[in-house]
A = this chain, B = another copy of it.
Amino acid sequence: MLGTGFIADFYISALHGQRSRDRVIMAYSTTKERAKPFAEKHGIPHWTNDLHEAVNHPEVDIVCIGLRNDQHLEAAQAAAKAGKAVMCTKPLARNGREAWEMVKAVEHAGVFNGYLEDLVYTPKGLKAVESVRNGAIGRVLWAKSRETHPGPHSPWFWNIEKAGGGALVDLGCHCIEIARNFIGKNVRPVEVMCWADTQVKPIEAEDHAIGLVKYANGAIGQFEVSWAFRGGMDLRDEVMGTEGTIWINNFLRTGFEMFTAPGNSGYVAEKAESASGWLFPVGDETNDLGYNHMFTDMLNSMEANTSPLETFYDGYVVNEIMDAAYRSAKSKKWEPVKLEEWRGLPDDAVQVQKEVEFDENHWLLKEEILPDGSRKILLKEKTSGKLVQREFLS
């Protein structure tokens, strides 16, 4: 385990709790002062502040990067050089250029690589994506993901140099990849429009950003991220398809509600802002936020010698989309996503017919149940373009 901060704690809780045969055997931090107590707290036998010692330890099968964003590249290169499997926390890097270096490093070394995008692995998310694949909501038109909370835990997040950006890099990476999973990861992200501003916090980076990502098949991915939200952590996805809708709430409203006048003396939930009044805890955060399913996929894939659901290449695509978003926030126009290499389908393979056919001569415009219970259908004649209305008694 490279890193000893908040996310490393979460990772270890999942790793030790889920597949009970896996153990973290090495803890690395840039300072000995942090590595040692972390190792003791989690019962990790070895610790060091020497990166190369950490990754080359003979008992280490897989290197887990849970470091600051600016330290990912060096760590990944070290792991690749050591010939070790590697998995890296989100975002993969500070920008597309660094991310591409990481992809090249692991692929050149031929080592297993996994991108730890936990929110793609939430149980609700996995089930929803499967439903979409099964056709439950038809063709996906729009996939919005929102993550907002009152700001990150560790001070380095607030440093634009170390983090590579603000709320967009921290949270947008989740939202962008969630939308990609709904729309289809083999559909090319074409261009991005993004607004980003520093509305509240005394920082250089943005604390609020909203963006649209246009895909080659016309679908839109939307992200809404902020470090200025009040009330806890808002984690929601919404998907519109031609035949259906999906709404997922992963945090503040999951069927667990508590009113407490004296206050809950223990831990409530990540980012909770109050400890009395109405609170909305989450049942099993480690599982519900995707950590269990993510590590199970990672370790099973490594053992089976297959690719996990999320690889370094996915992390790279996300970084490039974020780079385009930052360019757009500056230029105030849509900016193209520049990929070194596109590994999905060619654009002409994902084109869709937008109209829904009613019969040989008509497109379907709309079907409706009227107040009196009868059914009304609006059609458009294909040749004349004329609208035709038909009513059916119930």
Q: A292 to chain B: which residues have CB within 8 Å? A: 287
Residue of B198, B210, B249, B373 touching A275 (CB-CB under 8 A) = B373
- Establish whether residues A245 and B268, one from each chain, have CB atoms under 8 Å apart when the complex forms: no
Closest to A373 in B: B265
Is A344 positioned at the interface, with any CB of B under 8 Å from its CB? no
Shortest beta-carbon distance from A140 to chain B in Å: 10
Is A45 positioned at the interface, with any CB of B under 8 Å from its CB? no
Is A247 positioned at the interface, with any CB of B under 8 Å from its CB? yes
For window 334-385 of A, CB contacts with B under 8 Å fall at 334, 354-356, 363-369, 371-373, 378, 380
- Establish whether residues A240 and B148, one from each chain, have CB atoms under 8 Å apart when the complex forms: yes
Contact with B along A246-290 (1 / 0, CB 8 A): 111110011111111111111110011111111111011001100
Is A123 positioned at the interface, with any CB of B under 8 Å from its CB? yes
- Establish whether residues A258 and B131, one from each chain, have CB atoms under 8 Å apart when the complex forms: yes
Which of A85-93, A201-209, A304-312, A316-324 lies at the interface with chain B? Answer: A201-209
- Establish whether residues A255 and B249, one from each chain, have CB atoms under 8 Å apart when the complex forms: yes
- Establish whether residues B373 and A267, one from each chain, have CB atoms under 8 Å apart when the complex forms: yes
Q: A210 to chain B: which residues have CB within 8 Å? A: 212, 220, 222
Is A184 positioned at the interface, with any CB of B under 8 Å from its CB? no
Closest to A259 in B: B231
- Establish whether residues A229 and B220, one from each chain, have CB atoms under 8 Å apart when the complex forms: no
Contact with B along A145-166 (1 / 0, CB 8 A): 0001011010100110000000
Q: A288 to chain B: which residues have CB within 8 Å? A: 123, 283-284
Shortest beta-carbon distance from A270 to chain B in Å: 8
Residue of B19, B136, B198, B371 touching A354 (CB-CB under 8 A) = B198
Chain B CB within 10 A, most for which of A200, A241, A380: A200
Is A52 positioned at the interface, with any CB of B under 8 Å from its CB? no
Given contact pairs A228-B242, A255-B254, A333-B334, A136 touches B262 in the complex (Cβ within 8 A): yes
Shortest beta-carbon distance from A356 to chain B in Å: 7
Q: What CA separation (Å) do A250 and B257 show in the bound complex?
A: 12
- Establish whether residues B142 and A284, one from each chain, have CB atoms under 8 Å apart when the complex forms: no
For window 129-144 of A, CB contacts with B under 8 Å fall at 130-131, 134-138, 141-142
Is A127 positioned at the interface, with any CB of B under 8 Å from its CB? yes
Closest to A212 in B: B195
Given contact pairs A244-B260, A262-B135, A365 touches B231 in the complex (Cβ within 8 A): no
Residue of B123, B158, B230, B275 touching A137 (CB-CB under 8 A) = B230
Q: A70 to chain B: which residues have CB within 8 Å? A: none
Q: What CA separation (Å) do A127 and B332 show in the bound complex?
A: 35
Closest to A159 in B: B387
Chain B CB within 10 A, most for which of A123, A240, A355: A240
Q: What CA separation (Å) do A368 and B150 show in the bound complex?
A: 8
Shortest beta-carbon distance from A262 to chain B in Å: 5
- Establish whether residues A266 and B128, one from each chain, have CB atoms under 8 Å apart when the complex forms: no
Q: A199 to chain B: which residues have CB within 8 Å? A: 141, 218, 354
Contact with B along A175-210 (1 / 0, CB 8 A): 000000000000000000101011111110000101
Chain B CB within 10 A, most for which of A230, A241, A372: A230
Is A122 positioned at the interface, with any CB of B under 8 Å from its CB? yes
Is A33 positioned at the interface, with any CB of B under 8 Å from its CB? no
Is A108 positioned at the interface, with any CB of B under 8 Å from its CB? no
- 8 residue pairs, one from A and one from B, having the closest CB atoms: A277-B277, A231-B259, A123-B283, A123-B284, A249-B255, A333-B333, A202-B363, A124-B283
Pick 18 A–B contacts, CB within 8 A, sort by A: A20-B20, A123-B284, A124-B255, A130-B266, A131-B264, A131-B281, A134-B266, A141-B226, A153-B368, A155-B389, A210-B212, A226-B240, A244-B262, A268-B369, A274-B278, A274-B369, A275-B369, A283-B288
